[in-house]
Amino acid sequence: MLKNKFVHFFKELSIKDVPLVGGKNASLGEMYGHLTKKGLRIPNGFATTADAYRYFLDSTGLKKKIEDILQGLDTKDVRGLMRRGAAIRKLIITTEMPKDFQAAILKAYRELSAQYKTKNLDVAVRSSATAEDLPDASFAGQQETFLNITGEKDLLIAVRKCIASLFTNRAISYRVDKKFDHFAIALSVGVQKMIRSDLGSSGVMFTIDTESGFRNTVLINSIFGLGENIVLGRVTPDEFYVFKPTKAIISRSLSKKNMKMIYNLHGSKPIKNVPIPASEQGKPSLTDRQVLQLARWGVIIEEHYKRPMDIEFAVDGRTNEIYIIQARPETVQSRKDANVLEKYHLLKKGKVITAGQSVGSRIGAGIANRMMDVKDIHKFKPGQVLVTDMTDPDWEPIMKIAAAIVTDKGGRTCHAAIVSRELGIPCVVGTENVSSLVKSGRAITVDCASGEEGFVYEGKLPFRIEQTDIKNLKKPKTKIMMNLGEPDLAFTHSFIPSEGVGLARLEFIINNYIKIHPLALLNFSKLKDPVVKKEISLLTEGYKNKAQYFVDRLAQGVAMISAAYYPKDVIVRLSDFKTNEYANLIGGREYEPVESNPMIGWRGASRYYTPSFIPAFALECQAIKKVRDEMGLTNLKVMVPFCRTVEEGKKVQEIMAQYGLKRGQNGLEIYVMAEIPANIILAEKFCQIFDGFSIGSNDLTQLTLGIDRDATGTLDVAGVSNEKNEAVKILISQLIKVAKKNHRKVGICGQGPSDFPDFAEFLVEEGIDSISLNPDTIVATTMAIAKKEKDIKRSRGLLSFLF
């Protein structure tokens, strides 16, 4: 521990100095001293000490005056809180600091300016509370930051304002809630060289997924200009996911960034917001090289601190060099108990009012209170839903009593998202229109449990909360895998105990992520319908090559699922749309025939080698190759659906090889769906050209019993059309025997094991390698299968003993 003095430069500090200079400044010192040696750039600076803060309060009589003002404080009395907070802040700002304290600050400022060869250096002035950024209590964002401060006079004012911000309304309220004594916490002021990100970009990086707690990814949010607009939610940022094990960008979402914060060189205020030209708004705020460099640095910081981290960065627009300007422990997901799965289920859906980015994976309902100015927060009542444009730390006293929060602006790392996540409150950000659509007094439900997109519904809808303790869940010999088609849920579902994904449906990703028929993208210039062309133009904005949109979006969806379970197997089924389903995609009607029974029509393998569809199938192959070869996710395996003949299987594989997906190359395995009786009758021959089988029990039942799954009307198929039929079970049993004889893997991915526990037990008895289930049935079915395996082992042991 350093000896007490008023100011220390970063090079003198380490993480052990949190009591002296707070978490933020101690962390800057730690990184400056240890991580610059590993290539990280940290702008230099200095920090005032906790002792200097206490000296200021004691020597000027401020402490006693503040204690008097806080006497009898009730944080639930919002107006009283606001009045007291304002009085304390005014008192601190108008009180002159002791001369020796001022002299120490100015001496350090002159030294820092000399280091950067300028007279009045531009600096950021930030607060760092001595209880801030601890793993069990996040004070981050509670106090103020002042940017582009130049000159000694303005620096001293900014320091006093920083100290005063220890008594903002939200900081006072937060300390009371966390049971921290107001004077047990001191404030250090960090003065750091500004990076000219007003000419470049800046943002926030987490070394853990902020929504699910998935630890194998780095999440990066970035915007043009200074980073305050991210935290304040004024600008929805670009979002990048980098997968740590393969060091590849697996997801990239670019936003419309309509403004940026820059230096105000000729105005009365040091910074200002300016509009970004429309032609520039959709451009990426970081290059791929910068994203990957940031991710590498994030991992270095995480490894140094041995915990997930929340990191701020800035890119100098003059040099394009990246700087780390803050790092603190992530304090929400990293503290969750991974053994307890919590799932919110909406029991009834209503009219969707609006949607945005979901935060928190929960559901909340209540009466909306539309509030557009923080001065009105005294009107907010516990249990209401806060509807507003955006929040900043002044809103925190009411955020903690809200049932849910919905904002017009912001991204996943804006203030509303960060605080909601910490408080465990569902929050939908970036709706763009909620404040114009929802008025005070209206009952609404906020659903953040359905994936990346959060929904605001009309009325108070019923929901339930399911908690499952998986700590002592026994893993059976039979592999339990998952059916999954929603990339947005992949990270969350990865915590459900499974051996990977037995069925990832490509058509789900195409339908939800892409929405456009691939041939409409390939032939965009030739499309006849102007409405369709307009829809496609809006969805593919920024893509000159419309077909590349299909490849990129599909690769991103597949990569998110593959990364979530890496290095476990993820089996992706090639698109299995029927003609009526393909026709419903944007632009699809121009390319799809009308079939009277599409369930047994032009689908699956037969599409892939049809000359008119080969260009569309090529896009699927390119996307999968990108995931495996460029992103390094070689745990991805491919499955061919509805393959009627061995000859079809050969044709499909020949085309796949032409587009870089050759069986055996780079470890690629190709499976076939066993869903047509011919697949089982000719199983020996299918074994020669495929690496394994996955039983599609729905289609197998349909084609074995001659029942149309799409049939409606007088024919009641519900009692006949299920996998428990004896004929279906005989076929499945036969396939398992042939597959094992030929050393081929065989699993099942149909609905049957999820719906019928006794059918799952039958599969275990037959010796199936894997059973792929819907996420909500995995835990219960795993327990049942483990018990069945135990019973089988016991009965075999008894027979062995008797005979």
The C-alpha atoms of residue 268 and residue 253 are separated, in whole angstroms, by: 36
Task: Enter the tokens of residue 521.
Answer: 């993208």
Report the 3 state secondary structure along 253-285. ECCCCCEEEEECCCCCCCEEEEECCHHHHCCCC
Instruction: For residue 493, indicate whether it is catalytic.
Output: no
Element (H, E) at 605: helix 605-608
Asked if residue 506 lies in contact with residue 574, where contact means CB atoms within 8 angstroms, the answer is: yes
Element (H, E) at 708: none
Closest CA to 772 of 600, 507, 565: 565
Task: Enter the tokens of residue 237.
Answer: 């940022």
The C-alpha atoms of residue 47 and residue 272 are separated, in whole angstroms, by: 26
Question: Chain centroid to CA 464: how far?
Answer: 23
The C-alpha atoms of residue 292 and residue 241 are separated, in whole angstroms, by: 10
Catalytic residue among 162, 414, 415, 493: 415
Asked if residue 124 lies in contact with residue 145, where contact means CB atoms within 8 angstroms, the answer is: yes
Closest CA to 745 of 711, 772, 705: 772
Structure-derived torsion over alpha carbons of residues 795, 798, 799, 803, reported in degrees to the nearest 10: 180
Catalytic residue among 414, 427, 643, 749: 749
Task: Enter the tokens of residue 624.
Answer: 């999968």
Instruction: For residue 749, indicate whether it is catalytic.
Output: yes
- Residue-wise DSSP of 140-196: TTSS-EEEEE-SHHHHHHHHHHHHHGGGSHHHHHHHHHTT--TTT--EEEEEEEPP-
Asked if residue 157 lies in contact with residue 192, where contact means CB atoms within 8 angstroms, the answer is: no
Q: Using omega within 30 degrees of 0 as the cis cutoff, is the peptide bond preceding 567 cis? A: yes
Closest CA to 181 of 63, 79, 91, 58: 63
Alpha helices in 500-575 (DSSP H): 506-509, 518-522, 530-539, 546-565
Q: Between β-strands 271-275 and 259-263, what pairing exists: parallel, antiparallel or unpaired?
A: antiparallel
CA atoms in the 13 A half-sphere facing the CB of 175 = 23
Asked if residue 590 lies in contact with residue 527, where contact means CB atoms within 8 angstroms, the answer is: yes
Instruction: Show the CA angle centred on residue 620, arms to residues 616 and 621, nearest 5°.
Output: 110
DSSP 215: S
The C-alpha atoms of residue 785 and residue 757 are separated, in whole angstroms, by: 9
The C-alpha atoms of residue 590 and residue 596 are separated, in whole angstroms, by: 17
The torsion angles phi and psi of 33, rounded to 5 degrees, stand at -80, -30
The C-alpha atoms of residue 643 and residue 632 are separated, in whole angstroms, by: 28
The C-alpha atoms of residue 609 and residue 451 are separated, in whole angstroms, by: 35
The C-alpha atoms of residue 91 and residue 159 are separated, in whole angstroms, by: 14
Asked if residue 451 lies in contact with residue 325, where contact means CB atoms within 8 angstroms, the answer is: no
Task: Enter the tokens of residue 249.
Answer: 């960008």
The C-alpha atoms of residue 108 and residue 746 are separated, in whole angstroms, by: 70
Active-site residue list: 415, 749
